[in-house]
Amino acid sequence: MSPARPFRLAIGLDGAGWHPAAWREASARPDDLLSAGYWRDLVRGAQDALAELVTIEDSFAPQSADPWHPDDRTDQVRGRLDAALVAARLAPVARGIGLVPTVTLTHTEPFHVSKAIATLDHTSRGFAGVQVRVSGGAYQAGLFGRRDLPDFAPPFDLTDPALVAAIQDLFDEGADAVEAIRRLWDSWEDDAEIRDAATGRFVDRDKLHTVDFVGRWFSVRGPSITPRSPQGQPVVVSLAHQPIPYAFAARASDVVLVTPFDDADAARILREVRDAERAVDRAVPLQVWADVVVVLDSPTESGAARLARLDDVAGGTWSTDTGIVAGSATDLADRFAHWHDLGYDGVRLRPATLPDDLALIAADLAPELRHRGLTRTAYDADSLRGLLGLPTDVPSRYATAATTHA
């Protein structure tokens, strides 16, 4: 039986796992990180947990121990496949679960993003989403050579008007990109393709629309090259740590992943996100999901001991942009149940090691959450929007406008 207010579950996939020493675990598969079979197996593990979706990490720069600059370390995983292409490869074999690659909007044309994700929605038969991200900093801008950006690096002075303005610009540009992408997804009406061989008409040109988006950073005329996808509007996810990204999520996203370190932090962040949501005119409430790294107890070793051992292999205590929760399935379920009571809509679990923590999520944590009546007991929807409880009948804005005008 589904809970009265469902608690959604996502799995964040990144290489051998989120801990920098994960690739050195005995069960790790470092030789397979660039193979389709490896990613297929990870998605099947997420399906075993009945997760609504998986996210696939990506970035313009190689991974780095310094989040703001490249490093020269050779003892950690470096290099990735393109997340959108990985998702497209997985789509035919990953039925029923959402595939959400990470796409960086800065330096990337909205037209290209729109058709890549619309194509993924077609190949997955309605289970596509996209985790949108902005790229700040001079290093990644230099990879493209089209523009100069400030060299963001700590310590940050968020009272510095120039810094705040630069960050705001990045997220305003990102919001414009999402708006252009969403318009392009709507630029073909659902029945624009006729495919009538008898009359020789394949497409109804009156049901293809220019989007005519004009913004500060780019202009997009459209229409898209890709016919409207099964969901119409694939799911947009974003990761947010501060008020400006919260405001971006309220404007542009269906789901926002936030990064609490403890229960008090979780309550504060939720209030800030809801404040940002009230400041904009949203037709559908923004779903707020907590985003945490998990290190679960195994049959032979506690989560705390596993984390300590991984840190020792890595050469120091690991910290990241969100909380790290180590313990038993019961401990973690207690925390997530409390966050559900606070008003959270779900959680994205970042397994510290792959495949170990993913297998422990499926074997121990997910059943505990189901036993408490929090999470789903079966895949029971024919689209990712349906899995997440988002509106599934999303008409093209241009079809609506044309009908209204008529």
- DSSP for 306-332, written as a single string: HHHHHHHHHTS----SS-EEEE-HHHH
How many other C-beta atoms can be found within 10 angstroms of the C-beta atom of residue 374? 21
Place of tokens 């252009």: 180
Distance CA 177, CA 180 (A): 5
Q: Where are the beta strands (DSSP E) in 37-187?
A: 53-56, 98-104, 129-133
Has residue 93 been placed in a domain? yes
Range of the structural domain that residue 20 is part of: 8-158+231-376+390-405
> Which pLDDT does position 64 carry in this prediction?
86
Has residue 341 been placed in a domain? yes
**203 - beta bridge partners?**
193
In CATH, what number is assigned to the domain containing residue 133? 3.20.20.30
| CA proximity to 57, closest of 36, 34, 35, 83 | 83
Q: Which residues of the chain have pLDDT under 50?
A: 1-2, 404-406
Distance CA 236, CA 284 (A): 13
Distance CA 8, CA 100 (A): 15
Has residue 164 been placed in a domain? no
**347 - beta bridge partners?**
9, 290
CA dihedral (136, 144, 131, 364) in degrees, to 10, reads -90
Has residue 81 been placed in a domain? yes
> Which pLDDT does position 405 carry in this prediction?
41
Look at residue 11 and give its three-state secondary structure: strand
Distance from the Cα of residue 342 to its chain's centroid = 22
Distance CA 82, CA 130 (A): 13
**Do 111 and 80 meet the contact criterion of CB atoms below 8 Å apart?**
no
As to burial, measured by CB atoms within 10 angstroms (0-12 exposed, 13-18 middle, 19+ buried), residue 319 is exposed
Distance CA 86, CA 40 (A): 9
First-to-last alpha carbon distance for the chain, in angstroms, is 45
Distance CA 129, CA 84 (A): 10
Has residue 323 been placed in a domain? yes
> Which pLDDT does position 404 carry in this prediction?
44
The count of domains in the chain is 1
Has residue 47 been placed in a domain? yes
Has residue 169 been placed in a domain? no
**Do 376 and 52 meet the contact criterion of CB atoms below 8 Å apart?**
yes
Please give the model's pTM, rounded to 2 decimal places. 0.94
Distance from the Cα of residue 98 to its chain's centroid = 10
